[in-house]
Amino acid sequence: MTARFVYWMNVSLDLYIERGPDDHSNLDGPDWVRIGEPLHREFNRRAQSMSMFVEGRVVYEMMDPFWPDARTNESLPAFLREYGEIWTSMPKVLVSRTRTTASHNTRIVGGDDAIDQLAALRQSAEGDIGVGGATLATQLLRAGLLDELMLFTHPTILGSGRPLFNDPHPRVDLDLLEQQTYDQGVTLHRYAVRGAN
Residue by residue, DSSP assigns 107-126 as EEE-STTHHHHHHHHHHH--
pLDDT digits (tens, 9 = 90+) for 105-120: 999 999 899 999 999 9
Q: What is the pLDDT of residue 41?
A: 97
Amino acid type, 83: Y
From the number of C-beta atoms within 10 Å of its C-beta (0-12, 13-18, 19+), residue 107 rates as exposed
Q: Which helix (H) or strand (E) holds 84?
A: helix 78-89
What is the reported pTM? 0.93
Number of domains within the chain: 1
Q: Is 42 helix (H, G, I), strand (E, B) or coil?
A: helix
Element (DSSP H or E) covering residue 192? strand 187-193
What pLDDT score does 196 carry? 84
Q: What is the pLDDT of residue 29?
A: 61
* Ranges in the chain, pLDDT < 50: 25-28
CATH code for position 116: 3.40.430.10
Alpha-carbon gap, residue 61 to 123, rounded angstroms:
27
Contact 158, 106 (CB under 8 A): no
Are 163 and 16 in contact by the 8 Å Cβ rule? The answer is yes
What is the pLDDT, as a whole number, of residue 125?
A: 96
Judged by DSSP in three states, 40 sits in helix
Distance CA 9, CA 172 (A): 18
Q: Which domain holds residue 119?
A: 4-193
